[in-house]
Homo-oligomer: A and B are copies of this chain.
Amino acid sequence: MSYVHGYTTRETQRLLEQSLILEDLLHTGTSFLKGERVLEAGCGVGAQTRILARRNPDAIFECVDISQEFIEQARGVAMQEGIENVTFIQADLYSLSYKPESFDHVFVCFVLEHLPDPAFALKIFKQVLKPGGSITLIEGDHGSGFWTPETGKSRMVWKGLIDSQIELGHDPNIGRRVFPLLNDAGFVIRDVSPRWIYADQSNPVLLNSVIHQIIAPMVYSAEKQVLDSAYMEQDDWDRGLTDIREVARHPEGTFFYTWFKGEGIKP
């Protein structure tokens, strides 16, 4: 499976750091009760898993990812943190072996953007949900991102990030489709809302975190894919990525980005 962010240790670090910065933004409003079974579909290195497990210590999580490497890293993180209410399983989301109606909830975060057929994945998630069970869907929208100062090269780099995901057959702007996707899959929509982050130089600590722990690493993680696709020369890429990093210390630096979070109920 092609995964635009790659599978490196540095990338694992980014995913873990990013998840803590975004915890309140993304997890507020999501809670699971004692004994409820939750499927985390596409758990990756367990960045969201450890937050879910900590916030919902009495729920039981089954966390699935297609990458054996990610699953092993996720197990390592869970062991380090003493998390006991989670089982990790390597599996393809398109061919899950769970019986229908096995779960009370399904949690999907930053996953559908990496799938060629997100609608099909949602059908599967719906199948393994009990009637009355809920799905939580969180996806970013790269088309929502902008910043100041915007140099030509920084804009090229961002466009490279978007185009390289499109070339893989994925949708980098899937955030805006959270409502249509849930709706199409036949879920009853409980809520869809934008979860945005805005930072400027009046709060340099926040701006620094946003740039250096979320945005620049996210862009950097697509470097190989973008350069392989020949969208950009290495020099332009380097300059553009530097320009994005410079936003963090530029006196007029600002960054804005929006994720969308949706919750649907299986009728």
Contact = CB atoms under 8 A, between A and B. Distances in A.
Contact of A202 (B141, B179, B184, B201): B179
A13 interface: no
Range of interface residues on A (Cβ < 8 Å): 20 to 34
A200 B173 contact: no
A201 B191 CA distance: 11
A153 B131 CA distance: 40
Contacts of A141: 146
A179 B146 contact: no
Contacts of A184: 252
What does DSSP make chain A's interface, helix, strand, loop or mixed?
A: strand
A85 interface: no
A229 B256 CA distance: 31
Contacts of A202: 179, 189, 191-192
Contact of A146 (B144, B183, B254): B144
B179 A252 contact: yes
B254 A176 contact: yes
Given A189-B202, A198-B194, A258-B256, A146 B176 contact: yes
Interface string A53-84: 00000000000000000000000000000000
5 contacts: A143-B146, A179-B201, A179-B252, A180-B254, A256-B258
Interface of A: 141, 143-144, 146-149, 173, 176-177, 179-180, 183-184, 189, 191-194, 196, 198, 200-202, 251-252, 254, 256, 258
Given A144-B146, A148-B180, A194-B196, 18 more contacts: A143-B146, A144-B256, A146-B173, A146-B176, A148-B177, A149-B180, A176-B254, A179-B200, A179-B202, A179-B252, A179-B254, A183-B201, A184-B252, A192-B202, A192-B254, A194-B256, A196-B196, A196-B258
